[in-house]
Amino acid sequence: MLRQLRQLCCALLLLLCTGGGLVIAVPHHCVFDRLPRNVGEVTGGEEPASPVTVSVGSDWAPLRIKVFADDLEGLGGFCTRAGEHINMFFGKEMVCQEEDILTEEKVDILENVILSEAAKMHGERLLVRPLDGPLVVPRFREGSVCGKFPVPEEHHTDGVPDADMVLYATAVPTFKPTFAWAMPCATLGPRGRPVVGVINYNPRHIENTSQHIRVAVHEMAHALGFIVTDMEGQALVKREVGVRGRSSVHVVNSRNTLEQARHHYGCESAPGMELEFAPPTRNPAAPGGRGRGAGPGEWRERGGGRILPDLPGGRAGRIFPGERRERGGGRILPDLPGGRGGGRGAAELPAEPVRRRERERMLRLRAAQHISASTQAAADGTLSTGTTLTVVEKQWRPPSWLGLMSHWGRRNAKDELMAGFVVSGYYTAITMALFTDLGYYKANFEMAEPMSWGSGAGCALLTDKCVTDGATLYPDMFCTDSSDATLRCTSDRQSLGTCAIYQDDNIPPEFQYFATKQGSRRGAMMEYCPFIAPMNGTGCMDGDEAIMPGSVVGPSSRCLTGENLRMGSTVVGDVCVQLRCGEGTLSVRYRGSEEWHPCAPGQTLTPPAPFTAGSIRCPLFSDVCLTMLKHSDASSALAVTSAPLLLLIVIGTVIVAP
C-alpha cells in the first residue's frame, strides 16, 4: 500500500508542477444592482399599457411562471466559433472561446432543466392573487433593456394565458463570473407585483447541476421583486448605526422577515435581516485616475467624483439630483465635503445635505404614490374580485444609499439563495418572508430550506466581529490559520478548500481581526472575514481525486468532516464521499468500500484501507441532501484544474514514505 501511495504522490507532484498557479473557484456573481435601468424617472402618471383583470377568490394560488425561450440569441452578440470577436450586450468586446458557443445540448439543458426547475421552485413556495384571463405584455420603450428582448407579437395583442409572471429568456455571453442576470420589466401599476421580466443565461455556464438551477432561481427572484429600492419604497428597510464597528448597516425589519431572521440566528434582539452594503471607500483616487471608491464598471475623475459608464449602444444613463454629465457622456457623482469621493448616502455628510437628500427622496416617493386606489391595493394585496389593474413598464427609483444592494449580507448569510454569490443557494424562510412582506405574495413556509450558516449562532454573530485577536467563536463558519494546508469542507459541503486569508494593507480598521492586516478578499463580500474557500479541482462532484486524498468524486458526492483521518503518514483532513438520500435518511459510500453505510447525524464511521486511522462524522440530512438533483447526470459547477497549494502536503508525504 505504501508503494502505491508513493506512486500516487509522485503523480500528484507532476500534476501540481505543471498545472499553474493557485486559483480559487468562483461562484456565480450577481450583477443585478449594476444593470442599467435606463428608464424614466418615477412620476405620478402611469405608462399606457394593457388592462388585465385580477381574480381574488377566498384562496391564493401558486405562482404560475411561464418562460419563453424561443429566440435565445435574439439579443445579438452571440458566439458562433472560437476566436470570433463580438460585442457583448452590455457593450464590452470579447473574444469567443469554445465554451461561449450555445450548443444544442446547452439549449436543452437551459430550457428543460435550468429554467423549468427554477420556475418550479418559485411556484412551489410563492402564492399570488392569480390573473384572470391572458396577460397582455406592454410594448417597452425603445432603447430600454427590456425593449431589446424579443417578444412575440401575439403577446402584445392576444396576451399569454394561464400565467401570473412571464419571463423572456436569452442566452448570450456576459461577464465571465456572472452565470446569468434578470430584471423585471412590467408591474401591476407603478407599485404592484412584477408580471413581466427578462433573464439572460451565459452559455459558458449552462450545465446540468443544482448550482446552475439555483442561480436561475436567484435571478428570477430579482425579476419577481427582490429589489432593495422597492423594499425602501415600502418602508421595509431600516438603518442601524455602530454595528460591529461599522458606520452603519441596513436591515429589513418588516414583521415576517424580522421574525424569521431572529428565529434563524437564535437572537430575539436582532434588529432585522442585514442587506449587503458596500459604500465607496474614502481612499483618494489611485494614480492614473482609478480609485478604490470606484465600483465595478466605474472610474474616478481627476477631481475625485465617480464616473459611471454609459449604457449599451451609447445611450446615456439617468442623471440623479446632484450629478452632472461629463463631455463623453458618463455620469459624474459629486464628491463629498472635504474632498471625499463617494456620492449619495455616505454617512459622513453634514446634517443639512442629509436633510436635503432625505427631502428629495421623500418627494420621489410621494410622486410615486399618486396612483389609483386599485394600484395601491395591488401593492397591499387587498384586492376585491374583478378589480382591473394596468400593466405598466417597471419604474425605477434611485437607492437612498450608494452601495446598498439587493442581496442579503454575505457575511451573515453566505449560503442563502439571495446572497450576492450563489453556489448552494438555500431557499430559506427568510427570503420567503421578505416576499410576503412586499405585500403581493404569500409563502408556503413548509417548503423553506434550512441553512446551517449562522443557524442558532446567537446575537454575538450579528453584533461582534467574526474574529477577535486571531480567534473565532464560530469555527464552522470562519477560520484563522492560513498556514494549514489540510483540506476542509466548505460551508455548503460541495467542495474541499483551505482558509482564505491574505495580506492586505488596505483593510479598513473596523475589519482588522489579526495583529497584522490580513483577511479574506474585499471582493468576497465577507467583511474581510476569513472562511474556507474552494479551490479549482477540489469540487466533490467533479474534482480531481489525485489532489483530494481519500475522496470519492461523483455527481452524488458531498463533503464530510474527517476526524484524525490519515492515509499512512498523510494527514487527510475532510473527504468527499458518495451519498444516497432517502426519505429523511442518509447512506454513504467512501474510499475503500463498495457497500452503503447508514449515516445518522453525529454518528462516526471508521473507513477501511487506504485509511490507516481516524473516522468520518455524519452530517445533518439537510446539509447535504437538499441540493441533490433527482437526475443522475449532474456534475459540479466547479472547474477542474490543479491546486499547487497542496504541494507542501505531497512533499511531506513523499519524504516520509519508506
* Catalytic residue list: 219
β strands within 478-636, DSSP E = 488-489, 495-499, 502-503, 518-519, 532-539, 557-567, 570-571, 575-581, 586-589, 597-598, 604-605, 613-617
Secondary element (H or E) of residue 167: strand 165-170
Determine whether the annotation assigns residue 222 to a binding site.
yes
Q: How far apart are CA 196 and CA 68, in angstroms?
A: 11
Inter-residue contact 190 to 392 (CB < 8 Å) = yes
Secondary element (H or E) of residue 621: helix 621-625
Beta strand pairing call for 131-132 and 165-170: unpaired
Determine whether the annotation assigns residue 218 to a binding site.
yes
Q: How far apart are CA 298 and CA 285, in angstroms?
A: 12
Backbone angles phi, psi at 218, to 5 degrees: -60, -50
Inter-residue contact 281 to 290 (CB < 8 Å) = no
Q: How far apart are CA 654 and CA 2, in angstroms?
A: 10
Q: How far apart are CA 88 and CA 36, in angstroms?
A: 14
Q: How far apart are CA 338 and CA 346, in angstroms?
A: 13
Amino acid at 452: S
> Closest Cα partner for 391 from 188, 616, 597, 117?
188
Inter-residue contact 110 to 208 (CB < 8 Å) = no
Inter-residue contact 488 to 574 (CB < 8 Å) = yes
> Closest Cα partner for 533 from 494, 573, 575?
494
Q: How far apart are CA 234 and CA 236, in angstroms?
A: 6
Q: Angle 2-17/647-656 helices, nearest 10 degrees?
A: 150
CB count within 10 Å of CB 587 equals 15
Strand partners, 307: 299, 332
Inter-residue contact 642 to 22 (CB < 8 Å) = no
Residue corresponding to grid cell 499512512: 568
Backbone angles phi, psi at 161, to 5 degrees: -80, 160
Secondary element (H or E) of residue 487: none
Q: How far apart are CA 460 and CA 455, in angstroms?
A: 12
Edge to edge, the sheet with strand 532-539 lists 488-489, 495-499, 532-539
Q: Which three cell numbers stand for residue 229?
A: 429600492
Q: How far apart are CA 608 and CA 125, in angstroms?
A: 43
Residue corresponding to grid cell 446598498: 404
Residue corresponding to grid cell 472610474: 299
Inter-residue contact 193 to 93 (CB < 8 Å) = no
Q: Which three cell numbers stand for residue 556?
A: 452524488
The C-alpha angle with vertex 322 and arms to 316 and 324, in degrees rounded to 5, equals 40
Inter-residue contact 31 to 180 (CB < 8 Å) = no
Determine whether the annotation assigns residue 597 to a binding site.
no
> Closest Cα partner for 42 from 389, 406, 365?
365
Q: Which three cell numbers stand for residue 346?
A: 455616505
The C-alpha angle with vertex 367 and arms to 363 and 371, in degrees rounded to 5, equals 155
Residues annotated within the binding site are: 218, 222, 407
Residues annotated within the binding site for Zn(2+) are: 218, 222, 407
